[in-house]
Amino acid sequence: MTEKKKTAKRTRRPLTEIRQENIDQIVKAAEKQFADNGFSGTTVSSIAEAAGLPKPNVLYYFKSKEGLYRAVLKRILELWMEAMHDLHAEDHPREALRGYIVRKLRQSRDFPDASKIFAAEILHGAPYVREELEGPLKRQFDDTVAVFRAWIAKGWMDPVNPEHLLFTLWASTQSYADFALQMKVLLGREELADDDFDNAIELLTRLVLKGCGVKMV
């Protein structure tokens, strides 16, 4: 069902551009497929079809299915680490935590496939991201936990367990991507609307700030 007249469209484009565009197309298609069907459930053919290319062409750019998956994962992990930035000990948790929640929820809304792929990867034993977990992500984790401790030391926050607080923040925000389907069904929505995300922001912010003894103002 790939109706695009590729040959016609591709005439006269420089090679570098072709390469970049094809790779983008493939990665994008792969992300969707992997999110929907998991690594094992995804076939190279289905990715190729979704990208509008013949299968060997996909294997031409990425040596193997695993290589493609790794490439997709890499992109995702970078996106992942971004949202964790901008939590600083100097900022007051009142704004910092709300901002973090907003950012994480936005990520769940805008990049649900990334979240799903990451979740499935962890779920199944993190065979491809073990190292990233132990290295960069752990550092980020420790830094963020340190910020929480600093807030506690300054009396800006009750002495709650900082590690588990961060786990809870991750879990509750990420679930708006991973379990969006369940939420849709249970809320009787066709799609999660902005309203739903606003409600999520409000509830989560309230639970965290009030629950940790941060004045909400």
Partner DNA sequence: CCATCTTCTGACCATTTGGTCAAAAGGTTA
Partner DNA sequence: TAACCTTTTGACCAAATGGTCAGAAGATGG
Q: Report 165-204 residues binding its own copies (CB under 8 A).
A: 165, 167-168, 170-172, 174-176, 178-179, 181-183, 185-187, 196, 199-200, 202-204
- Could you tell me the two tokens for 134? 């132990």
Q: Tell how far CA 115 is from the center of its chain.
A: 4
Q: State the Rg of the chain over Cα.
A: 21
12 makes contact with DNA (CB under 7 A): yes
Q: By the 8 A CB rule, do 215 and 207 touch?
A: no
Nearest residue to 116 via CA among 172, 19, 36, 215: 36
Helix (H) or strand (E) holding 13: none
Q: Which does 193 bind (CB under 5 to 8 A by kind): its own copies, DNA, none?
A: none
C-beta of 89 vs 137, nearer to its own copies: 137
Q: Map the footprint of DNA across residues 35-54, applying CB under 7 A.
A: 42-45, 53-54
155 binds its own copies (CB under 8 A): no
Minimal distance, residue 48 CB to its own copies, in Å? 18
Identify whether the C-beta of residue 87 lies closer than 8 Å to the C-beta of residue 147: yes
Contacts with DNA by CB under 7 A lie at 6-7, 10-16, 18-19, 22, 42-45, 53-57, 59-60, 63-66
